[in-house]
Each structure stands twice: as structure tokens, then as C-alpha cells.
Amino acid sequence: MADDPDGGMLSWDESVFRNEHVFEIDYVPETFKHRESQTESLTYALRPAVRGSRPLNVMVRGPPGTGKTTSIQKLFDEVGAQTSEIRTIRVNCQVNATRYSVFSRLFEGTFDYEPPSSGISFKKLFGQIAEKLVEEDRVLVVALDDVNYLFYENEASDTLYSLLRAHEEHPGAKIGVIVVSSDPTLNVIDELDSRVQSVFRPEDVYFPVYDEPEIVDILDERVRRGFHDDVIARDTLEYVAELTADSGDLRVGIDLLRRAGLNAEMRASRTVERQDVEEAYEKSKYINLSRSLSGLADTERTLLEVIAHKDGDQAGDVYETFHEQTDLGYTRYSEIVNKLDQLGLIDAEYTEVDGRGRSRSLSLSYEKDAVLDRLE
């Protein structure tokens, strides 16, 4: 492609991006704005660990895309840079949704290699972790990120019980727990077993949705670090912030900037225009859907596909088709329905059915094509 004489067109080897990584979801910004009070609360809870004591447990709540994971990751990075006496491990419970898989990640974080894939019991796995902590006289701080997934699989109480009672079976083991929930409908404490409630008295740290001025401020920081100068005009950035505020999820805006930048490059343009943003939004607005789908097992994806084709049908009718495809029983089917409902992927509402009493009707929470396209 030839260069534009007026300088408005990109050459084939140019980019609007100064650093495209700035617009990736896992990027941890150097400056983290509008979460000062939450960061202070987390720091306060971990302060005893610096003195060699067990830290306070913390419950972090807030909708998706409100800075929970970034706050914890930045705090863990700072702790790691200041002392080797505290081991911090963040576990993604969307990926590790059982007690055993959580402790496998803790084993890996403790020993720097994965545990054997078979032949080791949970008790032995846990014992080796605790013994290592006692031997090195280290404090372990565990962040169970997206802990709501442990609740969806009925694994939360057993997991927390093992962590919170570790010092009873292994004297000298000092473990603090940060649970992070992105499900606003989940009351973490109420859903735990009484045996866990009796020992889990966490500090509560809430992350509200960012307001539009805060979103503009945060996205402007990303723009300055991620794009070359003058790539995106202020009014275009404010339009991105408006769409982001409507979604309630900062990650939509970050993804939107990246896709809009790629759209501008496709046009060989040196600037991101409103049309680039509008086209990008058709994909960016489904970032939560894509994230939720990525953590589903094959049978869960199968059921969602069945519901997409039988949108609004009664649960019993949906089960017949699901059973034909998977051979799973109704109990497991009902568990998967509940999980998809809790994830916000479907709506499972009870309705009166003539001659059949109350039954749940199952319908998608997203557009059918959007779901099916992302299940492929």
C-alpha cells in the first residue's frame, strides 16, 4: 500500500498502536485509578501477614469489570516485591471449580511444579502444602477469584473449610483467604455450610460499577499508553465511555478500543473514527458472554445449544432432547440448568402449565445467533 501524500493513510508496516498489550484484558495498569479505598482495605487485611501472623480473611464483591482482579493482582505484586515471607496465589475458579483442582493450583504455586496427575489423594496433597508452609515459616494468602463458580459446583464450603481449618490439622500453618465474587445475586455467607460460617468472618470490600467520568479517565490512560498520539479524538473516546457505562463492565470499553483500533488499521487509517467504534461494539458488547462460555464443560455447552434451538420451551421438553444427545440423567440436567441460570446465560422461570402444575420455562439471556456463533 502506498503512503498517502497527506499523511492520513497507514503504510503496510505502520500501526495505530504504541503498545497493543495495553488493551488486553489481563493487562495490569501501572496506575490504577478510582479504587483507592478498596486497595486500602485489602492492604489493611494483609498487614498482619507482613508481621508473620495470619492475615484477615476478605470477601471482595462487585459486578464483572469493576477492578477486583486487578486490585488483588497489583497488591500481590507489591507484596512479592517487598518480602519473601508471604506466598500469594490467585486461583481462577472459573477454570478450577473443584476443591481438588484449587489445591492442585496451590500445590503448583507452593512447589513451582504441578502435582502428579493421578495417584495422590486430597489429604496428601493438602498435607504437603501445609508442611511446606510450616517448614519455611511462610504465610500463604489465597485469592479464590470468581469463587461463585465453586458455589455453582457445590464445592465452595469444602474448599473454604479445608483452608480455614488448616492450622488445626497442621499446627503452624498460616493461611488467609480472599474470596472474590462477581455474581451480584450470590450471598456468599448464607450459601456456606454452618461449619464454615462459624469460622469465616471476612472483611467486606465492595467494588461498585464505575461511573462515566471514571470510565473516561481510565480509558484515557489506556489510550495514552496504548495508541500513538492523536489516534482517537476526545469525543470518540467519550462515545466509547458511554457505551461502556451502558454495559456496566469496564472490560467492554477496553476491548472496544482495541477492536476499534484494528478496524482503523483495516481501513489503513491513522485515526479511530466513530464508525470504527460502532462496528467494534457489535463484538465487544458480548465479552461477558464469551468469557462465560469459555468456562463451560462440553455437556453444559450442549445444553445451552439445545436451549438456543428450543428457546422458551418447558424444562421437561428441553430435557428430552438433551438426554438424547448426552444420555445424562435428570438430576445432572437440573444442576446444569441451575448453573447456566446463575451465570446469567439463561432465564429459568417457573410458570403454570395446564395439567402439569408449575414448570420452568428455559430461554436465552442473549440473542440466539450471538450464543450459537460463540459455541462453534
List binding-site positions for ATP.
66-70, 210, 222
Asked if residue 253 lies in contact with residue 215, where contact means CB atoms within 8 angstroms, the answer is yes
Can you say whether the dihedral through the CA atoms of 336, 342, 344, 347 is positive or negative?
positive
Q: Name the burial class of residue 93, with classes exposed (0-12), middle (13-18) and buried (19+) by CB atoms within 10 angstroms of its CB.
A: buried
Equal CATH topology for 36-206 and 211-285 = no
CATH dotted code for 297-375? 1.10.10.10
In the predicted model, what is the mean pLDDT of residues 70-84? 95
List binding-site positions.
66-70, 210, 222
Give the Cα separation of 194 and 372 in Å (integer): 41
H or E, element range at 207: none
Q: Name the burial class of residue 304, with classes exposed (0-12), middle (13-18) and buried (19+) by CB atoms within 10 angstroms of its CB.
A: buried
Give the Cα separation of 159 and 101 in Å (integer): 10
CATH code matching the domain that covers 36-206, chosen among 3.30.70.260, 3.40.50.2300, 2.40.110.20, 3.40.50.300: 3.40.50.300
Q: How confident is the model at residue 209 (pLDDT cuts 50, 70, 90)?
A: very high
Query: What's the pLDDT tens digit per position in 2-26?
Result: 445 445 778 877 899 999 999 998 8
Query: Is residue 358 pLDDT above 80, yes or no?
Result: no
Looking at the DSSP assignment, which residues form a beta bridge with residue 362? 348
Structural domain spans, the chain: 36-206, 211-285, 297-375
Quote the pTM value.
0.90
Query: What's the pLDDT tens digit per position in 175-193?
Result: 999 999 999 999 999 999 9
CATH code matching the domain that covers 211-285, chosen among 3.10.20.90, 3.40.190.10, 1.20.1300.10, 1.10.8.60: 1.10.8.60
Query: What's the pLDDT tens digit per position in 126-162?
Result: 999 999 999 999 999 999 999 999 999 999 999 999 9
